[in-house]
Every structure is written in structure tokens, then in C-alpha cells.
Structure 1
């Protein structure tokens, strides 16, 4: 596994963590094992993602925030408001 693959997987896991998904935000940080080139490339991809709001913090960490996507609204709405099954008349 390359350094780029390892970093991308780590960031993806942080973003997809249940707590991050609930809060719709995550703070990521560069590890000593992350190469500068790989870090810049991954941060570049994230900064170009329209759905993400990226903030560079004073301590060098990056905070990503996002809003609920319309599909998520529909899924919750469908799950919460499913019609009750009517009893069979016979």
C-alpha cells in the first residue's frame, strides 16, 4: 500500500466514522508518517469537493464540515413515515 493510499484510507475512515457522520464534521491531522506531497494532494482533492467546507486550524489540523444531502433527507423521511400495514380483512 502506498503512502497516498494509506492517507486516503485514513481520511476516508475518519470522515465515515459514525460520530463524524452524526456531527457532520471531522478534524483531521497530518501524521509524521504522512508525506508532504501526499498530504497536499489529499487536501487539494478535499478542498475541491463542493459539499465540504474546509477550515485550516491554527494548530495545522483541518476541520471538514458538510450538510445533510437531500438523499439523506428522503431516506429519513421514508423510514419515519412508512405507512402502517392494514390488517388483512379475512
Structure 2
């Protein structure tokens, strides 16, 4: 019974994880994806360490341009990925050629 109670109590995300999830949602929004551009901002309750950590991760992301604006926001821009950019790691993928069951 104690094991079940421990499993039910979810671990609270760290401030950096919460900020990362918020930024991820902003990047993945349909409007941002359509324009391949989004402006993110730090909330008053976001710790500076969390903001710096997320900015560092974004800066290390290939194909992502960051513009630090005068008002404290950061504009992220990226190019549309092409089929050539997509890499599949591991074993070679073999297509299965079967008739569809429907």
C-alpha cells in the first residue's frame, strides 16, 4: 500500500523543467511552427538560473538562431528542415511490403 502511495505522488518539476516545458509549448505552437519563429519571455517567478540554463540549451541547438531583444525577450528562428536534414541512427530501416489489411 505504501508503494502505491509513493507512486501516486508525482515529483514536482524543477523551475528549469517548468520553464523548458513552457518554452517548448511556445515553440511547438501551430503559429510558431508555421512562421518558424517565436518570441519567448521570462516570467517574474522564473529564477534567473533556470532562464540561463534554458537559454544555454537553446544556444547549443543546431539550426536555431537566437536574438536577444532590448526588452528582455528572446526571438528564436529556425529554417524548415528538409528530408536531407533528417538522420536515422541505428540499423538500416527495411520497409515492409504487404497488402494493407483493409
TM-score (norm 1): 0.77
2:42 maps to 30
Task: Could you tell me which runs of 5 or more consecutive residues in structure 1 were left unpaired when the two chains were aligned.
Answer: 72-90
Paired with 1:8 and 1:15, the residues of 2 have a C-alpha distance of 10
Paired with 2:17 and 2:60, the residues of 1 have a C-alpha distance of 19
Aligned residues: 74
Paired with 1:3 and 1:45, the residues of 2 have a C-alpha distance of 15
Q: Aligned to 1:44, what secondary structure does the other structure show?
A: helix
1:65 maps to 77
Task: Could you tell me which runs of 5 or more consecutive residues in structure 2 were left unpaired when the two chains were aligned.
Answer: 1-12, 84-102
Per-residue displacement from partner, 1:49-79 (whole Å, max 9, x unpaired)? 11100000010100000000013xxxxxxxx
Paired with 1:39 and 1:8, the residues of 2 have a C-alpha distance of 9
- Tell which has more relative contact order, 1 or 2 (C-alpha 8 A, sep 6+): 1
TM-score (norm 2): 0.68
Paired with 1:43 and 1:18, the residues of 2 have a C-alpha distance of 22
